[in-house]
Structures are given as C-alpha cells and as structure tokens.
Amino acid sequence: MKISRRNRDVELNEEFRDHLEREIQKNIADGMAPDEARRRAAIALGAIESAKEECREQHLSYWIETTLQDLGYGLRLLRKSPGFTCIAIAILALGIGANTAIFSAVNATLFARWPFPHPEKIVIIAEGAPAKPGWSLVSVPNFEDYSREQKTFDQLALWISQSINLTGQERPDRLIGSVVSANFFELFGTKPQLGRLFLPGEDQSGAENVAVLSHDAWQTRFGADPNILGRHMTLNNETYAVVGVLPAGYHLPFESDVYITAQHQTSYKRDRATRVLLMIGRIKPQVSRGQAEANLNTIARSLAREYPETSANINVAVTELRDMMNRFVRKPLIFLLVAVAVVLLIACANLANLLLSRSTQRQREMAVRAALGAQRSRTIRQLFAETMIIAVFGGMAGVALAYWTLPALLRLAPSSFDLGSVAVLDSRVLLFSLGLVFLTGVLFGVAPALHSSHINVATALASRSRGTAQTGTRERVRTAFVVFQVAMSVVLLTGAILLLRSFQALLATETGMDTRNLLTMEYRLPRNKYTNSEAQAAFHRQIVARVAQVPGVVSSAVVRSLPFSGNFGQIRFVVPDRPAPEKGKEPIAYANSVTPGYFATAGIPVLSGRIFDDHDSPLARTVSVISRAVAERYFHGEDPVGRSLQIVDNNSSIDGKPIIIVGVVGNAKQMSLRDNDEAEIYTCYSQDSGIFGTLVVRTTVDPMSLADPVRQAVWSIDNDQPVWKVRTLAFLVERDVESDRFLMVLMLAFGVLALGLTALGTYGVLSNAVNQRQREIGVRMAMGAQPSALRGLVLTRGMKLALVGGLIGVAAAAAGTRLVSSLLYGISPLDPAAFITSFATMQFVAFLASYVPAHRATRVDPMRALRCD
Amino acid sequence: MPPQTDLLQGTLDLLILKTLTLEPNHGWGIAQRIQQVSRDVLQVGQGSLYPALHRLEGKGLINSDWRESENHRRAKYYELTRAGRRQLEREISEWNRLVGAIGLVIEGA
C-alpha cells in the first residue's frame, strides 16, 4: 500500500514532534525549568531535517519521487531558457549524430554479419616462398596433400572467381562465377533452397558438368523458373546442368551468380607448377590460428623437400578472411571514428563551459538550497538530472540526424568500402549511441555539478559578491576547456590538411597515358570455341579492325590487363648477358599483351625503337616492348633495343624463349596512382595470345555514347560473345582515388566543425570575462584608458589561449600523425606546410572570435559600470 | 552527559528488535529503554534511531501503527513481526558467535 508522500511527511513531522515533546517532558520531570527543558531537548535532538531526510531515503518510492522531481524541475528550467537549451541540444546532436553515423559504417564493415556460424574461424591460406598473407594461389596436388595430412581444420577448400559467358539467351551475358572445390559449401555450412549442392568427386576431371545458382541469378537471369533443376545452360560454351539454388538473401563473402566446380577453371591442371586457385579453410573450434598455421607449415616443409622444382622453400600464412576483406577499409574507418570522437569531446567542452556560465547565474539558487539543508549529494543529483535531460534530447536528435544523413553518406562513400545497406536501427549502433549519451552527460555534467554544489553560503548570499574564490576557479576551469578545444581543433585540422595535400599529390601523379575519351570493355573467349592461340589472336585482331570503323572512333586496340582495372599479370625475367640471379629471386615486372595500336590509343609515348606491327607474326622472332623503368633499372643507360631477355613463367607460352626488345615506351601506372612500380614488359597478341582481353577505344565524342555501336561491332564478329565492365578509363582512375577523396572530405568537414565549436567556446569564455569584469573596465575607462587598450586587453587574453592551445595541438599532432602515414601519399606526416596552415588558421579564427567581446569591452559605459552594485 | 558510544548500524538493529520483543513501543520509548537497560552506556540519538526504524519497517521486520499513547496523544508505535522475531534469533546467535570469537582472541592468541 503506497502512502502518499504528503501523508508520509506529515507522519514524519508528527513522529519527530512527539519525540521532542517527550524529551521536554522528561527534562521537566528531571527538574528543569520549562524553557531550559525545551532548550536542552532541542540540542539533544540535533539536526532534525537531515534526520528526516535520512528516514525518507529508506523508502524506494522516495528515490523514484525525487528523481521524477529532479527531471520535472530540470525540464521547467530548460524551457525557461530556450536559447541555451536549443544551442546545447544542437551542439550535442551534431556530435552524437556524427559519431553514430560513422559507427554505423564501422559496424557494417568490421562487424559484418555473415550468414554462417563462427566467421572468425574462416581463414585464407597463402602459400609462397616466403608466403605473404593474402590472396596467393596454390596448386591442386599441394592442396590435396594439405587436405589429407592436416589435423587442425574442419575443411580445406578451393575457390577462385571467374567471369563466365552465358549464351543461349537473347543476348550473350556474363555471370560472375565462383569456381570451387566440391566441399566448398560444406565449409560454410550452406543449405540449398532448391535441389542440392556439390557432391564429393564432382570437382574431378571427367565428372558431369553441374552448377549451383544464387537466388538472385535464378530470379533475374532465369525468371525464377520453377523447373530450374535439371535445366541446362551454356556456360563458356559448355553445357551445365543446374542442380541447386541457394537461399534468398544468402551472401557469402564471395558474391557470385553461379558456382561451378574446380576442374572448370580456365587453366586447370593437376600439376604442382600450375597455381590457379585460392585455398581457404575452417579451423576446428578449439584450435587457434597459430596452431593451424604451424600444422600446415609442417606439411609445407615436407612438400618443399619432396618437390623442390615446384615447391622449394615454401611456407604458409594463415589470415582471417574477414581481416583480409576489411584490410583497406579498416584503417581509414578507424581514423574517422577517432576524429569524430575528438569532435564530440570538443562539443562536450563547449557544453561544460555553457553550463559553467549558467552556474554563475544560479549561484543564489544553490546558496538558498544549501541554507535550507539540501545535502550536497542531492544537489549534485539534481544538476545531474538536468544535464542528462540535455544529453538524452541531444542523443535523440543526434540519432535522428544520423538516420537522416546516412543515405547521403552512403552514396558519397566509395564502393570499395562495401557498406551495402547499413541499418542505423541496428541494435549495436543504438546501444553505442546510448552509451555516448551517458558518457557525454557525465563528461560535460560532472565539472559544473561538482562546482556548483560546493557553495560557501555566506559569501554567495552576500549581495553582488564579486570575485569569490569560486569565481576564480571557475575561470580557470573554463580557460582550461578552451585551451583543450583549441589543441584538439589544431590536431583535427592538421590531419585534414595533410589528407588534402596528399590528395592533391595523388591527383598530380602522372598516369602515363592520355585518359580522356577512352572507352573500355572486357571480354573472355570460351576456350572450347577458340581452341588455339591463332584463333584467339585472330578474334582480337578482327574486333580491333571492325571497331575502328565505327563512326566517332579514332583508334582501337586490345590489351590483356587494362590499367586501373585491377587486372594485372606479373612475371619473372632474366637478362641473358647478365649474371643469372638465384632461382626464385629473379626480377619481377608487370606483363601485358597488346595489339599494335595499343600505345597510340592509350597515349603512351614511344621513346625509342619501334612498337609492334604486322611483321610480328607467330613465325617470326618473339618480340617485346619494355617500359622506361625496365630499361633504366636493368640496362643502365645502354640502349636496350636489340637486346634480349627471357621470361621465367611456367604458365606462359613464351616461357624460356629469348625475346628481342624492339622498343621502349613511357611508364604507365598499372594498378593505381599509388603504385610505384612501373616496370612493364609488353608482348603482342599475335605471338602471345590468350582468351582474356579488354577493348580500348579512343573516341572523338563522349565515350559512353559509343558503347552500343562498339558492342554491336563486337557482336558482328561473334554474336555469342558477351562484353562487360563497359566504362571509361577516366572513371577507373576516378575510382582509384575515391576513398582518398571520401576521407579527405569528411576530415575537412570535421575540422571545420571543430573550428566552429572552438570559436564558439572562445567567444563564450571571453564574453563571460568581459561581463564579470565590467566594474574593472569601468574603472580603467574612467582613468583614461583608450578603447584600443581595452580591446587589446581582451584580444591578448584570447590570443594567449589560442597560442598555448595551438602549441599543445601542434605537439600532439606531430606525435600522432605518424600513426596514419599509411593513408598519406607523397607527403611526410610531419609536412611543415600542413602544421603551419592549421596553426595559423586556428589563430586567425581565435582572433575573430575574440574580437566581438573585445569590441564590447570598449562599449561599457563607465558610469553604469561603476555605479551598479 | 554520559559518553556516547558509537553503535554500528547492524548492532542498532539488533537492539531495537530485542527491545520490541516485550511490547510495542514508540521511537522515544525504544531509545529510553535501551539507555535504561544498558545503564546509560548506550544512548541512541534520534538521527540514527528513526532512519533505523524506517529501514527495519521497509524490510518488513517491524510494523508501525498510530495509536493513542499514555498521555492521550497520537504516537507512532512499532511492533515486531514474525519475520522480525526470526531475524532477531538469527542476529542474537550471530552476535554470540562474534563475541565468543573475540573473547577467544583476547584471552588466548
């Protein structure tokens, strides 16, 4: 039964009064005079109010009531000063909103939920001499040995991605395919929605051709055909039967439209020198990654002993698959998370300062409370409730802000971040926001609460108390907050400017080509239709010729690995006249095969000798063109034209043959603008052909406008040949820098936000100081101080704060930027221009922020200031 | 004034419960009784007494009731509940155990 508070209080008063009466009676009975009895009794009773308060505290309903009381009071107070409330909530909303948005992105990538249990146990195994963690291919016999001998994995499986031609529909199409070992799905614990998955043995040569479709592919390419099982389709010009369909929305780490078995990999061979597949594994539950790696290394060592020609010196490196896929994204995202947290700290400093300045106005209120017997803890609780209200409203506004801006953020984000559909209402993100709300409430509430509750009642209640010790401490605390803000802003700004300069350096990097007006598209010929290199070379030649006739086309060519596409070939080579390097340690260069018109089409200059022409047929000597980097590094100033080199690459048709260098061309970036290696060896398609090719077309008009005519030209040669990845080279180069741009834009935004908040903070503190010191200013003016001197007083104060904070910030930034040097390109993490610019900008902004209060100081009316008391 | 001895919170609870075994009493009466029985050694101030009474009531060990007192005024009387009686027994045996142990240490060691 709940007794209402009023009743309880009445009862409590009754009880205490009764006690007092009895004590008085006892004293009288002991012989004291009534007045004396009363006095003695009162003394014996002591502090009634605090005793009563303690009694009240024993009941839970008390706590609930007082908390509600605090909240109600806090809400009323905030409503009475809407300006303050709005600013406070707005500042906090910005801070929490930005943090929530960035954390959403981090959550989506780093904690990506994959649809199978224990994703941390899935690893990728690289084999090499020595092994480098990452995507590195393994041979089929080696894989089988590993599988048989290992003791630490549930499963080892093979996977590689492959473009697959789908023909027999209205238009030839390309599917993203995964070529996998038969136990691939078992490793992930996948269950099919329709039909079945692969059976053991279906990945051996001679087994029937079977395929598994993804749910999306079944819906979009095959119209959700209910009789899909057993239906035949033509992939890479061979017939496959569909045996299963994966569940809807099921996303494996490797997105694919169709899955086929390992023996269908283009260059599949069961010998230890052919490496065309990646090895992945699921580690047993109790086993650690280190143990699994050690186990495989034992097997690797015995393989190295038994098969020295192919597997000398090999070992393995085991990496978590998730880490591999996040590799490029993790550092930038964490960097952004830290930066945005700093912005929140600056915002909290602002809020703390705001609250402190409000506490000046509430001094009397606090003093009265204390005089009435309010315990300090109670006052702190009440102030805390006020700050928590601001924090909660700020948090809600922040989450709403994040929800509203997240789609825009996702659109701007580079595709490489693979943010997909980020659910803001994800429970982890909301929990994070809740934690932030609580943390910020504590951060910006603690200092003012502790401070306000510590009142010297006498001095505070004295009218117009000036310059109490408390005011002095408050000033110092506020100054410290501003210095902190300045320092943090300088750190953020420095980071932002470093990224800006890095981005500029990237953009200024030469690609080595003329990237304007170049249309590109990829294709891959089915091996059983173009069975030998002559047929393949003929196709490439024919489409070059046909495409060149399309109106608007200046020139066309085919290249095997288009720069900036992510495709590349690498080989080892030897220069015959030089001392032979150790086997396995020969120099490496990018390898590419091109049609004769490639260099002109791409705009790569010819530096000496000639480029390929019709004389370079399969019957003539094998020729190559090298890039300037190869000439300089391996021929040291001598003219390499006429010299020869030898390629060391088991998978190549020209392995071991001496190749004559006929020309030298300019360097061109192969992988990205950041790539420093520009050693490239070109061969020509007529001598070194293949099924892969990328068409490169220089146009007079907008390249994409010619996409269809060029496609038709290709289909006029072979109307079953799909082409894909139709885009311009300019687009690819753009894509290369999009994550750098994204990072830079966000950091600049954070830097500007930080500057703004700090300016507000500086203005606030100086403004407050001017208000407090009105009397002093009045005196100065009456004594003849010039306005400029007064202005100077305030400005100096502000600039001193900015100077100290700025220097601290520079030192902190200098210490910290080394951590992010991997994000930078072309400039040092201690680039002086960046530091100077951010420091100077901060000083300038601080000057502006100080100017208004400084000006206001000169407008003080000395008569009013001196008189008002 | 006789010296005041600081009583630990738990010990105060024990004394209150014991005092109420005889008959229900009001706060002042409980304090007086404790003082008398302990021959003025233990003096409980109202600052500790009433919070303790409210706490015990919150735990359900005592009940309170407003009655007319001997001087014809309303006073709040507290009485022991069954749970309170059980708790008292437990506390007394615990107290005896404690005292015995301390005694052993002082004598022996």
| A4-53 pLDDT per residue, tens | 667 788 888 888 888 888 888 888 888 888 888 888 888 877 777 778 88
Q: Of A556, A724, A575, whose CA–CA distance to A177 is shortest?
A: A724
Instruction: Report pLDDT for A584.
Output: 66
| A782-799 pLDDT per residue, tens | 888 888 888 888 888 889
pLDDT band at B1 (very low <50, low <70, confident <90, very high): very low
Average pLDDT score over residue span A288-299: 92
Cβ-Cβ contacts under 8 Å between A and B: the total is 57
* Residue A379 CB partners (closer than 8 Å, separation 6+): A366, A369, A370, A452, A453
Instruction: Report pLDDT for B2.
Output: 44
Q: How far is B9 from chain A (nearest CA, A)?
A: 13
pTM of the model: 0.79
pLDDT band at A393 (very low <50, low <70, confident <90, very high): very high
Average pLDDT score over residue span A233-241: 91
Cβ–Cβ below 8 Å for A55 and B27: no
Considering only CB atoms, B73 lies closest to which of A18, A47, A50, namely A18
pLDDT band at A143 (very low <50, low <70, confident <90, very high): very high
Is the predicted pLDDT of residue B60 greater than 60, yes or no?
yes
Residue of chain B with shortest Cα separation from A14: B75
Give percent of chain A with pLDDT exceeding 90. 39
Cβ–Cβ below 8 Å for A46 and B47: yes
Instruction: Report pLDDT for A457.
Output: 61
Cβ–Cβ below 8 Å for B51 and A57: yes
Average pLDDT score over residue span A480-495: 92
| A147-188 pLDDT per residue, tens | 999 999 999 999 998 888 998 888 888 889 999 999 999 998
Q: How far is A15 from chain B (nearest CA, A)?
A: 6
- Whole-complex ipTM: 0.83
Distances (CA, A) of A95 to A91, A99, A255, A346, A456: 6, 6, 36, 9, 35
Q: Of A576, A566, A667, whose CA–CA distance to A625 is shortest?
A: A667
Handedness of CA A831, A834, A837, A842 (dihedral sign): negative
Average pLDDT score over residue span A523-552: 92
Is the predicted pLDDT of residue A600 greater than 80, yes or no?
yes
Cβ–Cβ below 8 Å for B58 and A58: yes
Main-chain dihedrals φ then ψ at residue B65, nearest 5 degrees: -160, 135
B51 contacts in A (CB within 8 Å)?
A: 51, 54-55, 57-58
Rounded Cα–Cα distance for residues A864 and A525 (Å): 91
Determine contact: A28 vs chain B, CB below 8 A: no
Determine contact: A23 vs chain B, CB below 8 A: yes
More confident residue, A558 or A614: A558
Is the predicted pLDDT of residue A2 greater than 60, yes or no?
no
Instruction: Report pLDDT for A1.
Output: 42
Average pLDDT score over residue span B79-101: 91
Residue pair A295/A281 in contact (Cβ under 8 Å)? The answer is: no
More confident residue, A58 or A402: A402
Cα of A373 vs its chain's centroid, Å: 53
Q: How far is B25 from chain A (nearest CA, A)?
A: 12
| A764-784 pLDDT per residue, tens | 888 888 877 777 888 888 888
Instruction: Report pLDDT for A542.
Output: 94
Instruction: Report pLDDT for B3.
Output: 44
Between positions 190 and 229 of A, the ones with CB within 8 A of B are: none
Q: Which of the residues A19, A21, A24, A49 would you substitute to probe the B interface, choosing the one with the greatest number of B C-beta atoms within 10 Å?
A: A19
Please, what are the domains in chain B? 9-107 (1.10.10.10)
User: Exposed (0-12), middle (13-18) or buried (19+): which is A786, by Cβ within 10 Å?
Assistant: exposed
Is the predicted pLDDT of residue A343 greater than 90, yes or no?
yes
| A446-474 pLDDT per residue, tens | 877 777 776 666 665 665 555 455 567 77
Instruction: Report pLDDT for A419.
Output: 63
Instruction: Report pLDDT for A405.
Output: 86
A23 contacts in B (CB within 8 Å)?
A: 28
Q: How far is A452 from chain B (nearest CA, A)?
A: 28
Distances (CA, A) of A862 to A176, A792, A855, A865: 81, 18, 15, 5
Least confident of A46-60, A94-108, A677-691: A46-60
Q: Provide the mean pLDDT of chain A.
A: 86
Cβ–Cβ below 8 Å for A50 and B47: yes
Cβ–Cβ below 8 Å for B51 and A22: no
| 3-state SS, residue A620 | coil
Residue A562 tokens, joined? 């288009």
Give the CA-trace dihedral at B22, B27, B29, B33, to 10 degrees: 70
Residue of chain A with shortest Cα separation from B77: A15
